[in-house]
Structure 1
Amino acid sequence: MKEALTLPSAARTLLAEKLIESLEFDVDETLQKLWTDEAKKRRDKVRSGAVSPIPGEEALARVRQLLE
């Protein structure tokens, strides 16, 4: 692990992706496609300016407030 942390950023990113892929098994391809499509729609809305992202902490604070 210490050696991996000394790798350049791009190499650590690739290593992390490969490690995550190794954990994924029995993926429902239909469900995966639906989530991928949804993520792309949301990305496109942000890029087009149709929606403005907010920081995660702010989003969590809003959810907590709604749940109170």
Structure 2
Amino acid sequence: MAVTMEEFGIDRLTVDQRLELLGLIWDSVTAGGVPTPIPDWHRRELDRRIAAADADPGAARPWAEVRVRLLGGP
């Protein structure tokens, strides 16, 4: 039987607390040197994005420019 968010009390956490918990869980999954399996569809998407970037390198924007656009500051 699956455990629900309510049973764990996750529904009572703030968004920041949930994100922190997510990070802790991810760190626990990737700890110990055991390779994390990557789904085939992730690999295909990465290959597609790499091919798109290689086909049009001028489409990329420097991080500083993207940061200003997203966050409104340097």
**Band of TM-score, shorter chain:** 0.3 to 0.5
Larger Rg: 2
User: TM-score, with normalisation over the residues of structure 1?
Assistant: 0.40
With structure 2 as the length reference, what TM-score do the two structures score? 0.38
